[in-house]
A and B are shown apart, each in its own frame.
Chain A
């Protein structure tokens, strides 16, 4: 079955620091990969996605590259801000078959200090 493993948190950083959150996956077929972010008291917002190998998703300074050879989709940001404090979820969805669900990682809580 499909599964996602992401870096355990919590992660605490200072403003302008470099952020990386590791995500690896196991999937049948050719999955699409997503990063979602959840701010306190809110639902999930799509941060970025990649639908095929070597694709790079990017948004709001965040980037992640779909690496089929290492089954990874690590999230990076070069200079974080206090407003980036949130919980980040890596997720995948398989191509083909009848499995339409998103499979999520456990989430990584990121706190950025001023």
Chain B
């Protein structure tokens, strides 16, 4: 079974631009979560989607948004990029998102904002 895939793996953008990251979950998984990882803040939760609905959202500004499609694939978008948005963005999928479900992570997208 293929794992979680994320594209692109690396991105370089400049301040003020916007970016879209993509995540394809494991086949059969309907829950997709996004996390931001930085050396200073560690791993922080962005949002979680299940059946095309956002169920939970972390404490990030409105510049961070996401969506999920009917095939469970998910995208996240960051508008008006800031230097502080440079991070590794990780996507994780699970079967239903229940508390005992295991979240399986993709390799991440490394975003650098110049």
Distance of A3 Cα from B100 Cα, bound (Å) = 17
State whether the Cβ of B104 lies closer than 8 Å to any Cβ in chain A: yes
Q: Report how many A-B pairs have Cβ atoms within 8 Å.
A: 61
By secondary structure, the A interface counts as: loop
Q: Is the CB of A101 within 8 A of B45?
A: yes
Distance of A43 Cα from B98 Cα, bound (Å) = 21
Looking at the complex, which one of A44, A51, A103, A107 makes contact with B100 (CB distance below 8 Å)?
A51
Looking at the complex, which one of B31, B45, B55, B92 makes contact with A98 (CB distance below 8 Å)?
B55
Stretch at the interface among A7-15, A16-24, A69-77, A88-96: A88-96
Question: Cβ of B62: which chain A residues have Cβ within 8 Å of it?
Answer: none
Question: Cβ of A105: which chain B residues have Cβ within 8 Å of it?
Answer: 42
Q: Is the CB of A42 within 8 A of B107?
A: yes
Q: Is the CB of B90 within 8 A of A46?
A: no
Given A100-B55, A106-B42: A32 and B100 within 8 A (CB)? yes
Report the minimal beta-carbon distance from A29 to chain B, rounded to whole angstroms: 8
Given A44-B90, A107-B42: A102 and B107 within 8 A (CB)? no
- Please count how many residues in chain A sit with their CB below 8 Å of the partner chain's CB atoms: 26
Interface size class of B (residues with CB under 8 A): 20 to 34
Report the minimal beta-carbon distance from A23 to chain B, rounded to whole angstroms: 14
Given A43-B107, A43-B108, A45-B105: A102 and B45 within 8 A (CB)? yes
Residue of A nearest to B99 (CB): A95
Distance of A9 Cα from B42 Cα, bound (Å) = 14
State whether the Cβ of B48 lies closer than 8 Å to any Cβ in chain A: yes
Distance of A106 Cα from B98 Cα, bound (Å) = 23
0 or 1 for each of B102-114: is its CB under 8 Å from A? (1 = yes): 1111111000000
Residue of A nearest to B103 (CB): A102
State whether the Cβ of B14 lies closer than 8 Å to any Cβ in chain A: no
Given A44-B90, A101-B56, A107-B42: A94 and B107 within 8 A (CB)? no
Residues of A within 8 A of B (CB): 31-32, 34, 36, 42-46, 49, 51, 89, 93-96, 98-107
Task: Beyond the given A45-B105, A51-B99, A95-B99, please list 11 additional residue pairs across the A-B interface where CB-CB is below 8 A.
Answer: A43-B6, A44-B90, A44-B92, A46-B102, A46-B103, A93-B100, A94-B99, A98-B55, A101-B45, A102-B33, A103-B45
